Amino acid sequence: MPTFVYMTRCDGCGHCVDICPSDIMHIDKTYRRAYNIEPNMCWECYSCVKACPQNAIDARGYADFAPLGHSVRVLREPEKGTISWKIKFRNGHEKNFVSPIRTTPWGTIPSPAELPPPSENDFKNQELAHEPDALNIEGGLPALTSGQLKKGVI
Amino acid sequence: MFTTNPFAELSAFISPSVMQTYVVVMIILVAAGTVYDVLHKKSARYFRENMRKSKAEGTKVGGGEMVSMAIKTALVDVAASGEFCNQKRRIAHLLGMYGFIIFALSTAVMVFRYPTADVVTPAIWPLLWWLGAALVCIGGYWFWFFIRADVSAEGNSPFRVMRADLFILSLLGCATFALIWAYLQASGNSWAMIAFWLHVIFTTVLFGSVPWSKFAHMFFKPAAAFEKRLSAANGTRSNLPPPVDKPEDFGKVSYQPRNY
């Protein structure tokens, strides 16, 4: 289900252009509004749908095999730390989901440059630098012991 | 220089009635262009259909609430450009919008009320005219070189011109050459008339290109903003999920991604 833009809602800010990993969200040359230049190259990551501050981007299936009438709408509320989804099926059935975006205030996660450089011991283990702290798991990452595995795996 | 009516000086070369006729023709061009634009793009029909659908699906909104929404749309979305998420774009838009209004209004007043040097022009009108054109230039060039999405997000050169630039470029040309013309005329420079005719060309393009440029956004954007407010009030919310019932613990987040 590739994305498309409601032109009357879009204000041409360029957030979707910046975030699209496929680089297929571009600015229209006639009205300076965003549009999906290549819907069949859209891998439906929904990054632009979630990033759009005007809720101007929606997703829909290809008209040849998915008749219109359904929709996927997203409401991002960063101040509440939530993202809500409303999935509408063609038969009118609706599903609503709410997911957390984060559990800490914006800007409180330090960037790698703000953290101390990894010690020599850090290079000897398999974890990434500062990873256990970021995951908030005391005592390190959980690991499987040989007793928990099926016979024959090791 | 800033308190002299440039049109009064110009009346020595061009008759005031010609200037007044030109202004009237420009107003007619905007009105006709907007009507053509609305019919051609079927934007009025689109908003009417959306409004009808929203009314049918949502709860009934009272007359008082409708008036309140119209006032909020006028004050927040139109007068304060409240729909912009990027504060730089909002400021640039406000500079350009109010600059254009002041510039157009003071031009009309000076051309119709104080068209010749025989009638004394109050100093406020030429001052407003200079201020308006300068505001358009500040907001416009800021937008043109740094803020517009095809430069800041797409990473294109600011000198790459496309049809979407017709409105902003003609507006900038109109205001820039107006300032250059007024300056050269006040300093007695013989190039003043060239700057003046360039100003006339850009002004004609600005007002005559309404069906092809985004000039008409000043008419359909308020309609879109009102529709957005109406859909929030009647519960349809443009098909968006309802807001989550949670405290706003994480505060207002305002950021501008920069990938280039």
Q: Are strands A3-5 and A82-88 parallel, antiparallel or unpaired?
A: unpaired
Residues of B in contact with A5 (CB under 8 A): none
The answer to whether B75 and B69 have CB atoms below 8 angstroms apart is no
A104: pLDDT strictly greater than 80:
no
B142: pLDDT strictly greater than 60:
yes
Average pLDDT, chain A: 84
A43 catalytic per annotation? yes
**In this predicted structure, what is the pLDDT of residue B31?**
92
Tell me the CATH number at B41. Answer: 1.20.950
Q: How far is A93 from chain B (nearest CA, A)?
A: 13
Say what the ipTM of the complex is: 0.78
How many H-runs (helices) and E-runs (strands) does chain A carry?
3, 7
Taking the Cβ of residue A90 and every Cβ of chain B, the question of whether any pair is shorter than 8 Å is answered with no
Task: pLDDT band for A65, please (50, 70, 90 cuts).
Answer: low
Q: How far is B214 from chain A (nearest CA, A)?
A: 6
Residues of A in contact with B162 (CB under 8 A): 29-30
Please give the distance of CA B3 from its chain centroid, rounded to a whole number. 25
Residues of B in contact with A18 (CB under 8 A): 153, 257-259
**In this predicted structure, what is the pLDDT of residue A150?**
76
Global pTM value: 0.81
Mean pLDDT lowest among B177-181, B201-205, B211-215: B211-215
Q: pLDDT tens across B153-195, in order?
A: 878 888 988 888 899 999 999 999 999 999 999 998 889 999 9
What backbone phi and psi angles, to 5 degrees, belong to A97? Answer: -130, 145
Q: pLDDT tens across B77-118, in order?
A: 999 998 888 888 999 999 999 999 999 999 999 999 998 888
Task: pLDDT band for B30, please (50, 70, 90 cuts).
Answer: very high
B133: pLDDT strictly greater than 80:
yes
Catalytic residue from among A6, A18, A32, A43: A43
Question: A24 or B59: which carries more pLDDT confidence?
Answer: A24
Taking the Cβ of residue A77 and every Cβ of chain B, the question of whether any pair is shorter than 8 Å is answered with yes
Residues of A in contact with B238 (CB under 8 A): 9, 55, 73
Q: Nearest chain A Cα to B162, which residue?
A: A29
The answer to whether A27 contacts B251, with C-beta atoms less than 8 Å apart, is no
Taking the Cβ of residue A81 and every Cβ of chain B, the question of whether any pair is shorter than 8 Å is answered with yes
Chain A contact probe: residue of B253, B254, B260 with most A CBs at under 10 A:
B253
Question: A112 or A68: which carries more pLDDT confidence?
Answer: A112
**Domains along chain A?**
3-100 (3.30.70.20), 112-148 (no CATH)
**In this predicted structure, what is the pLDDT of residue A34?**
92
Please give the distance of CA A110 from its chain centroid, rounded to a whole number. 20
Q: Would you give the DSSP letter of residue A76?
A: E
Cα dihedral: B141, B145, B147, B152 (round 10): 170
User: What are the CA-CA distances from residue B21 to residues B15, B18, B69, B111 (Å)?
Assistant: 10, 5, 39, 10
CA angle B100, B103, B105 (to 5 degrees): 105
Residues of B in contact with A105 (CB under 8 A): 249-251
**In this predicted structure, what is the pLDDT of residue A64?**
67
C-alpha closest to that of A132 among A113, A153, A118: A118
10 Å CB burial of residue B49 (0-12, 13-18, 19+) is: exposed
Residues of B in contact with A82 (CB under 8 A): 244, 246
- The winner for highest mean pLDDT among A112-116, B59-63, B196-200 is B196-200
The answer to whether B57 and B103 have CB atoms below 8 angstroms apart is no
Q: How far is A119 from chain B (nearest CA, A)?
A: 31
Provide the number of structural domains found in chain B: 1
Alpha helix stretches (DSSP H) within chain B: 6-10, 16-41, 43-57, 63-72, 87-113, 124-142, 149-152, 166-186, 192-208, 217-233
With b meaning 16 or more CB within 10 Å and e meaning fewer, what string describes A61-88? eeeeeeeeebbbbbbbbbebbbbbbbbb
B121: pLDDT strictly greater than 60:
yes
Average pLDDT over residues A98-115: 82
Among partner residues A9, A75, A79, which is closest to B252 by beta-carbon distance?
A79
Tracing tokens 């013989």 back to the chain, one arrives at: B190
In a domain, B252, yes or no: no
Q: How far apart are CA B231 and CA A80, in angstroms?
A: 22
Among partner residues B162, B224, B240, which is closest to A86 by beta-carbon distance?
B240
Q: Are strands A71-77 and A82-88 parallel, antiparallel or unpaired?
A: antiparallel
Alpha helix stretches (DSSP H) within A45-130: 47-51
- Chain B: residues touching A (Cβ < 8 Å): 46-47, 83-86, 89, 148-150, 152-154, 162-164, 214, 220, 224, 227-228, 238-244, 246-253, 257-259
Among partner residues A29, A80, A102, which is closest to B248 by beta-carbon distance?
A80
Average pLDDT over residues A94-122: 84
The answer to whether A11 contacts B84, with C-beta atoms less than 8 Å apart, is yes
The answer to whether B239 contacts A88, with C-beta atoms less than 8 Å apart, is yes
Domain that holds residue B166: 6-50+69-230
Task: pLDDT band for B48, please (50, 70, 90 cuts).
Answer: confident
B18: pLDDT strictly greater than 70:
yes
Q: How far is A141 from chain B (nearest CA, A)?
A: 28
What residues of chain A, 109 to 128, have a C-beta less than 8 Å from chain B?
none
Q: How far is A145 from chain B (nearest CA, A)?
A: 39
The answer to whether B224 contacts A9, with C-beta atoms less than 8 Å apart, is yes
